[in-house]
Amino acid sequence: MLDSARELTVDLGERTYPIIIGQGLLGSYDLTPFVQGNQVMIVTNETVAPLYLESAKACFPGKNVDVAVLPDGEKYKDWQTLNQIFDHLLEQRHSRKTTLVALGGGVVGDMTGFAAASYQRGVPFIQIPTTLLSQVDSSVGGKTGINHPLGKNMIGAFHQPEVVLIDTESLRTLPPREVSAGLAEVIKYGLIRDTEFLGWLEKEVTALVDLETTALVEAIYRSCACKADVVALDEREGGLRAILNLGHTFGHAMETFAGYGNWLHGEAVGTGMMMAADLSLRQGMISEQDRARAIRLIAQASLPGRAPEGMTPDDFHRLMAVDKKNVDGALRLVLLRALGDAVVTDEVDVVKLDETLRTFCVVSGDVHA
C-alpha cells in the first residue's frame, strides 16, 4: 500500500470537488463528509457488486445505505435500465437529500450521474470508478447520460460529482482488454496536451499494461490533472473541451456499427485516435514520424489497428453524421496540429478523409506504423 493518497481539485467555483487517488482506499476512506443527509444509494452492477460493494458500503459509516444492482453492459446504458435506478429510489423513499454513489465503470458512472441529475430535479452524487477508463476519464468532468439506438450518449446532462474516489487496487480484477481500453484514454491526454507525458508513456506503457502500482498512480494522476484542467477552462464544452474527444468521432461510429458492447469504448477510441493521426498527416498537420509515434504507442497498449470487420467508409460517413460536435450538418473532427496540440476543426478534406477511412477499413490485418 502506498503511504498516502494523492489529491487533485477540479476547480469549478461552487461546484469544485476533489479527486482522491490511492491504493487500498475502498473500505477505509471515510466519504461521509461528502454526504449531506442520512440516505445513500449505491448504484453498481452485477459484476462489480460481488467484488467491491461491501468495501464501498464501509466508506459511509453511520449512513443508511441502499443498493441498486443493474445488469452489466453498454447495451444496458438505456432508458429501461436508468428507470430501474428511479424505481429503487422511489421504492426506498429516497428524498431530495439523498446521495447517489456510482460504483463501477463508465456505464454505471454515466447512468448514475444522469439519474442524480434528474431525480427530484437533481441530487448530489459521488463517483467511485473501478475501471481504468472511468478512473482517468468518465468519472471526472460531469458528463452523464445514456445511449439512444441512433447514437451514443445522445441523452444526458452535465452534473458534477461531490468527490471522485479512485482506488487503484480495484484494477487488479479488471480483464486485460479493459485495461487496454483505459490506456487509450490515458494516451489521449499525451496526444492532445502533454508531450512530456507522451514521452513518459512511451517508457512506461509496459508497466501500465502490467498494472504496476507506481506507474498506475502516476498515469491516473496526470490524466486526471489534464482532464481537470480542461474541464475547469470549459465545463460545458463551448470550445476547448471538445479536444478530449480526439478519436471519438471515428470511435463512436465504430462502437455503433459493431453494436454497443461488442467493441469496447476505449478500443474504438484507440483505433479512432490512430485514424485522427493518419488524417492529420494527410492534411499536412503532422509529420510521418509523429503519425508513426502515435500509432506505435496505441498499438503497444494492445488496441486494435483497424475498423470492425465489414465496416465500410460509407458506414463511417453515415454514423459520423450524428456526432454531437457537428454544427449545422458540417462534420467537425479533433485533429493534431502537432503531438501534444489538438485542435477542433471543420476544415476536413473529404478526399483525404476517404483515404484514411479506406486505410482503416481493410479486409484483414492491422495498420502498421
Binding site for ligand GLY (CB under 6 A): 137, 141, 143, 241, 244-245
Position closest to ligand NAD via CB: 106
Choose, from 159, 252, 282, 332, the residue flagged as catalytic.
252
Comparing CA positions, the residue from 278, 266, 299, 111 lying closest to residue 179 is 266
Q: Which of 39, 131, 180, 280 binds ligand NAD (CB under 6 A)?
A: 131
> Does 169 help bind ligand NAD (rule: CB under 6 A)?
no
Q: Given the C-alpha cell 496540429, which residue does it identify?
A: 337
Based on the residue annotation, tell me whether 94 is a catalytic residue of this protein.
no
Binding at 131: pick from ligand NAD, ligand GLY, none (beta carbon under 5-8 Å per type): ligand NAD
Largest CA distance in the chain: 62
> Does 153 help bind ligand NAD (rule: CB under 6 A)?
yes
Residue 17 CB partners (closer than 8 Å, separation 6+): 9, 10, 160, 161, 162, 163, 164
Site for ligand NAD in 326-355 (CB under 6 A): none
> Does 77 help bind ligand NAD (rule: CB under 6 A)?
yes
Query: For ligand GLY, which is the closer residue by CB, 295 or 334?
Result: 334
> Does 287 help bind ligand NAD (rule: CB under 6 A)?
no
C-alpha cell at 191: 496526444
Helix axis angle for 288-300 and 195-209, nearest 10°, is 30
Query: For ligand NAD, which is the closer residue by CB, 269 or 357?
Result: 269
Based on the residue annotation, tell me whether 121 is a catalytic residue of this protein.
yes
Q: Which of 48, 126, 226, 230 binds ligand NAD (CB under 6 A)?
A: 48
Based on the residue annotation, tell me whether 15 is a catalytic residue of this protein.
no
Closest approach of ligand NAD to the CB of residue 368, in Å: 26
> Does 235 help bind ligand NAD (rule: CB under 6 A)?
no
> Does 110 help bind ligand NAD (rule: CB under 6 A)?
yes
Closest approach of ligand NAD to the CB of residue 169, in Å: 9
Neighbours of 97 (CB within 10 A): 13
Distance, in Å, from the CA atom of 95 to the CA atom of 65, rounded to the nearest integer, reads 13
Binding at 98: pick from ligand GLY, ligand NAD, none (beta carbon under 5-8 Å per type): none
Distance, in Å, from the CA atom of 153 to the CA atom of 248, rounded to the nearest integer, reads 12
Q: Let me know: does 253 contact 320? Beta carbons within 8 Å.
A: yes
Closest approach of ligand GLY to the CB of residue 90, in Å: 30
Based on the residue annotation, tell me whether 227 is a catalytic residue of this protein.
yes
Neighbours of 105 (CB within 10 A): 29
> Does 247 help bind ligand NAD (rule: CB under 6 A)?
no
Closest approach of ligand NAD to the CB of residue 292, in Å: 26
Phi, psi of 331 (to 5 degrees): -70, 130
Closest approach of ligand GLY to the CB of residue 134, in Å: 11
Distance, in Å, from the CA atom of 52 to the CA atom of 35, rounded to the nearest integer, reads 20
Q: Let me know: does 74 contact 107? Beta carbons within 8 Å.
A: yes
Work out the burial of residue 365: count CB atoms within 10 Å of its CB; fewer than 13 is exposed, 13-18 middle, 19 or more buried. Answer: exposed
Q: Which stretch binds ligand NAD (CB under 6 A): 79-87, 130-138, 310-318, 347-355?
A: 130-138
Based on the residue annotation, tell me whether 143 is a catalytic residue of this protein.
yes
How, if at all, do strands 341-345 and 333-338 pair?
Answer: antiparallel
Distance, CA of 13 to chain centre: 23
Based on the residue annotation, tell me whether 57 is a catalytic residue of this protein.
no
C-alpha cell at 268: 474504438
C-alpha cell at 303: 488496441
End-to-end CA distance of the chain: 38
Work out the burial of residue 325: count CB atoms within 10 Å of its CB; fewer than 13 is exposed, 13-18 middle, 19 or more buried. Answer: middle
Choose, from 159, 222, 248, 306, the residue flagged as catalytic.
248
> Does 241 help bind ligand NAD (rule: CB under 6 A)?
no
Closest approach of ligand GLY to the CB of residue 140, in Å: 7
Q: Give catalytic residue positions.
A: 121, 143, 185, 227, 237, 241, 245, 248, 252, 265
Question: Which residues contact ligand NAD (rule: CB under 6 A)?
Answer: 45, 47-48, 51, 72, 74, 77, 104-108, 110, 130-131, 133-134, 137-138, 141, 143, 152-153, 170, 173-174, 178, 181, 264-266
